[in-house]
Amino acid sequence: MTVINQEKCTGCGTCVPYCPLGAISVVSKKAVIDQTICPNCYVCVRNKVCPFDAIEKQEIDTFIGQFQHIISDPVETTEQTGVPGRGTEESKTNDVTGRVKKGEVGICIDMGRPGIGCRLRDVEKVAMAVTSAGLKLEGEDTTPLAMLMEDNSKGKIKEEYLDTNVLSIIIEGKCPMETFPEIIKALQKVEKEIDTVFSLGVMVRVDENGYSPILEQMEQLGLPKPYRGKINVGLGRPLITE
Amino acid sequence: MTHSLHRSGTLESLKGDYVWFMYQAKGINDTNIKEKAEEFIAAAELVGSENWGDVKTGPIVSYPKEYIKQNIGNKSRLRGVFTSRKQVTEFLSIIKQKNLGTSVVISGLLDEVLSACKEAGVTPHTINYSLGIWGKKELLPDDDILSITTMCGHHMISPNLVKKLVQDVKKGRITPEKAAWKLATFCPCGIFNQVRAEKLIDELKNKS
Ligand code: SF4
Ligand code: SF4
């Protein structure tokens, strides 16, 4: 947990602009951290932004507190906690893992990105919408979100975690290419019901020219043509050709 | 993990922004990573990667290169940035020749990266397309700020910090180059493009 040592704090306000979520403010000449917003990303601590060394870490002793911190701080190592990183390697190693094969679509919904943060309540809304549209979510061995689920097949998160705020968390899964339009329709509906944003990634196998029929589906759905992406250039070995 | 996927900005500005990755998969091709990583770093440096790093240690804008290299282990993740398509093409040509067997990923404008692949003689295998931002977009900072903050995909860079630094540049307290470098130190992975950021900050200082 990130706290301000009230004795050391001079109220200078230097720390305020550094917090990505705007969780720090100066009240009655002392800095305070809104604990309902701060997910312990440790940007303020790691970068030593306080000239008086008044920002301190306190031990996090709950599972959900540790989860919230690990998912929000990319520097944190995850080995001791059992939280398996922050998500799958999606396209990055697909040339050797073959996680998403020809005819399939991998969906990566980066909840809270860019830089807004999100409550798990909104994550659940989106996860439930896409699972009922036919997306099969990744399990506990590949993605941390699954650890919070009461029912991963339905995208239902345990009630006690729903108010937790995180800097971002990824809903990941895959479906057959034919199901893609249903997923997009579900996202178009649920995006109006959440109090945050998400960034959407759609991952597919491509031919030697970098083409996939998913581009036609996107056009038919009225989605803007994607112009930016992450290309795995097929140099991993042994290469999966499926 | 899609922290390099959703970088925003104008097409012209994104033409100067590419992210490279070396990735190993557990139990498949995760041996001798230190040697392979050093080959990647050598290739990236040869073509002029302005920033790179290993999230386990940090980026070259914050730590000496030798220190980062010494700390590379089998779980390291190497990544960095290029500022031109030409660098991407040259890098891919070298890495193809080295035949190291780890996965290689380039994040950037699709037209540019796909033509770099063609020129370098490598075959795209998988693409993760960015379909942009959805939901309550009124919560977002403006596009100019997002073009800078999204270069740290883990969002370690606060929009308010960018605004403050732009004000400091306007007042002559800091140069755009130093402001961009400062922002780069907040991105632990080494994928923040301080060269592009400097240009963006310079443009922003002239806006009202
Ligand atoms: S920078 Fe330090 S001293 Fe100044 S307001 Fe923040 S916590 Fe207090
Ligand atoms: S830990 Fe992160 S969210 Fe919390 S106060 Fe510090 S910078 Fe802000």
Choice between B73 and B197, residue whose per-residue pLDDT is larger: B197
pLDDT for residue A86: 56
Whether chain B has a CB inside 8 Å of the CB on A89: the answer is yes
CATH class of residue range A1-58: alpha beta
Q: Are A197 and B133 in contact (CB under 8 A)?
A: yes
Quick count: other Cβ atoms within 10 Å of Cβ A154?
A: 14
pLDDT for residue A82: 47
CATH 3.90.1170 residue window(s) in chain A? 81-219
8-state DSSP, B208? -
Dig out the tokens for B148 from the structure: 């800078």
Q: Burial letters for B55-88: b for 16+ Cβ neighbours within 10 Å, e otherwise?
A: bebbbbbbbeeeebbeebeeebbbbbbbbbbebb
% of chain B residues with pLDDT over 90: 85
Name the closest-CA residue to atom 6, ligand 1. A15
Q: Are B39 and A130 in contact (CB under 8 A)?
A: no
Mean of the per-residue pLDDT values of chain A: 92
B146 to chain A: nearest residue by CA? A114
Taking only the tens place, the pLDDT of each residue in B76-129 is 889 999 999 999 999 999 999 999 999 999 999 999 999 999 999 999 999 999
A chain contacts of residue B107, beta-carbon cutoff 8 Å: 228-231
- The count of CB pairs under 8 A between chains A and B is 265
| Domain at A81-219, CATH from 3.40.50, 3.90.1170, 2.60.120, 3.40.630 | 3.90.1170
B58 to chain A: nearest residue by CA? A75
Average pLDDT score over residue span A79-99: 64
Question: To 5 degrees, how large is the angle CA A122–CA A126–CA A130?
Answer: 170
Q: How far is A123 from chain B (nearest CA, A)?
A: 12
Whether chain B has a CB inside 8 Å of the CB on A49: the answer is no
Q: Report DSSP letters for B142-174, one per residue.
A: PHHHHHHHTTSTT--S-HHHHHHHHHHHHTTSS
A208 to chain B: nearest residue by CA? B123
B chain contacts of residue A110, beta-carbon cutoff 8 Å: 2, 5-6
- Res. A90: pLDDT tops 60: no
Among A111, A126, A90, A98, CA closest to A231? A90
pTM, to two decimals: 0.95
Q: Are B179 and B162 in contact (CB under 8 A)?
A: no
Q: Burial letters for B168-193: b for 16+ Cβ neighbours within 10 Å, e otherwise?
A: bbeeeebebebbbbbbbbbbbbbbbb
Dig out the tokens for A172 from the structure: 């990941």
Does ipTM come in above 0.85? Answer: yes
pLDDT for residue A83: 45
Question: To 5 degrees, how large is the angle CA A86–CA A87–CA A89?
Answer: 125
Taking only the tens place, the pLDDT of each residue in B40-54 is 999 999 999 999 998
The full set of domains in chain B, from first to last, is 9-118 (3.30.70), 136-201 (no CATH)
pLDDT for residue B73: 87
Whether chain B has a CB inside 8 Å of the CB on A43: the answer is yes
% of chain A residues with pLDDT over 90: 82
- Res. A100: pLDDT tops 80: yes
Taking only the tens place, the pLDDT of each residue in A64-84 is 999 999 999 888 765 544 444
Taking only the tens place, the pLDDT of each residue in A167-199 is 999 999 999 999 999 999 999 999 999 999 999
Distance A31 CA to ligand 1 centre (A): 6
Amino acid at A190: V
Parallel, antiparallel, or unpaired for β B126-135 and A156-157?
A: unpaired
Mean of the per-residue pLDDT values of chain B: 94
Taking only the tens place, the pLDDT of each residue in A48-61 is 999 999 999 999 99
Cross-strand bridge partners of residue A200: A109
CATH 3.30.70.20 residue window(s) in chain A? 1-58
A chain contacts of residue B158, beta-carbon cutoff 8 Å: 17-20, 22, 43, 115
